[in-house]
Amino acid sequence: MENFAIVYGDESVPRLYENSQISSDQLPGQSGIVKRDVALGRYLQNPLAMIATLCGPGKEILSWKLHALEQFLTPVEKYEIVEQVMVDVTNQTGFDVNLAASHEWHFSTLQFIAGLGPRKASALQKVLVREGSIFSHKELVKTLGRKVFMNASGFLRVRRSGAAAASAQIIDLLEDTRIHPESYVLAKNLAKDVYSEDAPHELNEMDDDEQEMAIMLENTHVILSVLTLTNI
């Protein structure tokens, strides 16, 4: 028993999922306790995605008791507040496209990404599931269209997760930041300037690939802070 860790979880959301239509769609033929167990495991792994699952057409999230005074809100008012919070938190957290492509229940938060919504999120989900994994934001331009891509890409994270974890293809470190793809060149130049001042001799001894890797690893947090403050 020493090798087992016991984790206690809140069952309020899993119970809502157990009795929802979405659980029957995702886990057809499974008993209620199985649905609840799956939901509890998912809730512990990714609470945001599990809550977003209940924000679908059935709006089961409205049955989740959040405050003693919520009875004074209409269902429409309550859902508007929930939706606002989901949009804020989802965009602050970001959406891992490769993880979702391998584990589809993570797609529930995609509808809350800025510039998308349920319809565009559904279309993007189909493309990502078909592709299995992507390695650059540029692969999303054709699917999203230029305008939507400009709005949403800063909140979509391209990580070495899901099926991409087994690939040897290189993923630029900036793909997993909130820096917009159109600012990558600026970000790299900024990082290079900072790094060249701190370690000029080391920079001269590296080839181009080594330079870029060292620069980005050393200064990603600096770049992100500067570009965020300047709204780039």
Q: How is 96-143 classified by DSSP, letter by letter?
A: EHHHHHHSGGGGGGGGGSTT--HHHHHHHHHHHHHH---S-GGGGHHH
Exposure class string for 117-140: b at 16+ Cβ within 10 A, else e? eeebbeebbebbeeeebbbebeeb
pLDDT reading at 119 higher than 50:
yes
pLDDT digits (tens, 9 = 90+) for 176-230: 888 888 888 887 777 777 666 655 555 555 555 555 555 555 555 555 554 554 4
Quick check: helix, strand or coil at residue 158? coil
Query: Whole-angstrom Cα distance, residue 184 to residue 174?
Result: 7
**Confidence class of residue 166 from pLDDT cuts 50, 70 and 90?**
confident
Residues 6+ apart with CB under 8 A from 96: 106, 157, 159, 161, 162
Residue pair 98/158 in contact (Cβ under 8 Å)? The answer is: yes
> Which of 85-89, 124-128, 207-211 shows the lowest per-residue confidence on average (mean pLDDT)?
207-211
pLDDT at 87: 94
Mean pLDDT for the stretch of residues 89-115: 91
> Which of 49-53, 99-103, 161-165, 211-215 shows the lowest per-residue confidence on average (mean pLDDT)?
211-215
More confident residue, 171 or 192: 171
pLDDT at 43: 92
pLDDT at 47: 92
**Torsional sign, CA 54, 56, 59, 62:** positive
Q: Pick from 217, 141, 124: which is nearest to 172 by CA?
A: 217
Tell me, which fold does domain 94-171 have in CATH? Answer: DNA polymerase; domain 1 (1.10.150)
pTM, to two decimals: 0.75
pLDDT at 4: 78
Q: Where are the domains of the chain?
A: 1-87, 94-171, 179-229
pLDDT reading at 130 higher than 50:
yes
pLDDT at 216: 53
pLDDT at 218: 55
